[in-house]
């Protein structure tokens, strides 16, 4: 099976190696190259223009299996089968765990004290928020959760985590605040209450969670930057489920 990968991200270089090691004929191609392959792998996050998509699929066969997070954009130029990363729960869980592990590594580097009884506020209790909270709790940090949904609050309480309203940052000190929600949660006014010693970390994509981003460390795309091999392996496991069935 011939596979083309379009990306200059290190994890896709590793993915290319993994595919070739496992018997696929894989190669990395450029955005300007028209694709003729049994499968095409597009990057999880990348700003690809309509003109680039048009060129990519100019000579593509509709039997090509396409992996991408942007099926809607691609469907204007390609009428074949498109499999989206965000629809695979197993992949999302693995990616969330890797992201949380990377975030933990950043916290450990930024804190000038032990995690033991450090007060850490995690904004959002989705996949990443849950994974990060579990890691921090296991290392004896005092973890606090802000979650908008009642079921998320209930789940956090079941794990003996402290649940807070966002107004808590106006009257409590936190050693670290980590945002995982792509929504402006911390207002400009609330930022004035934050200690200059509080470590602020942004994990969510645009628009992010802080209105004032002045002292916020934007830690985006962590799997590809910090844990390239694990990130590549997660992508491989995801696409191999489909590629294996195509080989049979």
User: Per the domain annotation, does 223 fall within a domain?
Assistant: no
85: pLDDT confidence band, cut at 50, 70 and 90? confident
CATH number (domain holding residue 187):
3.40.50.720
105 lies in the same domain as 174? yes
62: pLDDT confidence band, cut at 50, 70 and 90? confident
74 lies in the same domain as 127? no
The predicted structure's pLDDT at residue 248: 42
The predicted structure's pLDDT at residue 46: 67
DSSP state of 62: T
**Better pLDDT: 33 or 6:** 6
60 lies in the same domain as 103? no
Helices 89-110 and 228-247 cross at an angle (nearest 10°) of: 170
Domain of residue 200, residue span: 91-214
**End-to-end distance of the chain based on CA atoms, in angstroms?**
11
51 lies in the same domain as 156? no
User: Per the domain annotation, does 220 fall within a domain?
Assistant: no
- In the chain, alpha helices (H): 10-21, 50-56, 71-74, 89-110, 127-138, 150-158, 188-191, 222-226, 228-247
Calculate the average pLDDT of the chain.
Answer: 92
66 lies in the same domain as 108? no
> Order of strands, edge to edge, in the sheet holding 216-218?
162-163, 142-146, 119-123, 176-179, 199-202, 216-218
User: Per the domain annotation, does 9 fall within a domain?
Assistant: yes
176 lies in the same domain as 72? no
Measure the CA–CA gap between 146 and 138, rounded to whole angstroms.
19
User: Per the domain annotation, does 192 fall within a domain?
Assistant: yes
172: pLDDT confidence band, cut at 50, 70 and 90? very high
157 lies in the same domain as 95? yes
Point out which residues pair with 217 in neighbouring strands. 201
Helices 228-247 and 10-21 cross at an angle (nearest 10°) of: 40
pTM listed for this prediction: 0.90
């Amino acid at each position: 099976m011939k596979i083309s990968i379009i990306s200059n991200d290190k994890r896709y270089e590793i993915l290319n190696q993994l595919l070739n090691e496992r018997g696929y004929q894989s190669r990395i191609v450029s955005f300007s190259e028209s694709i003729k392959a049994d499968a095409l792998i597009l990057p999880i996050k990348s700003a690809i223009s309509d003109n680039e998509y048009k060129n990519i699929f100019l000579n593509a066969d509709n039997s090509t299996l396409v992996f991408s997070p942007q099926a809607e954009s691609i469907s204007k130029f390609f009428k074949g089968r498109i499999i989206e990363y965000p629809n695979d729960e197993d992949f999302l869980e693995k990616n969330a765990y890797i992201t949380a592990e990377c975030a933990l590594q950043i916290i450990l580097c930024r804190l000038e004290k032990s995690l033991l009884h450090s007060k850490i506020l995690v904004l959002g209790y989705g996949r990443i928020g849950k994974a990060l909270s579990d890691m921090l709790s296991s290392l004896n940090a005092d973890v606090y959760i802000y979650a908008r949904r009642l079921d998320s609050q209930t789940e956090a309480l079941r794990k003996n985590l402290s649940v807070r309203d966002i107004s808590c940052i106006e009257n409590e000190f936190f050693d670290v605040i980590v945002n995982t929600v792509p929504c402006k949660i911390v207002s400009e006014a609330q930022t004035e209450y934050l200690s200059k010693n509080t470590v602020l970390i942004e994990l969510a994509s645009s628009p992010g969670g802080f209105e004032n981003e002045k002292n916020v460390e934007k830690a985006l795309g962590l799997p590809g930057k910090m844990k390239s091999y694990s990130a590549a392996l997660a992508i491989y496991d995801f696409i191999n489920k489909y590629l294996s069935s195509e080989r049979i």
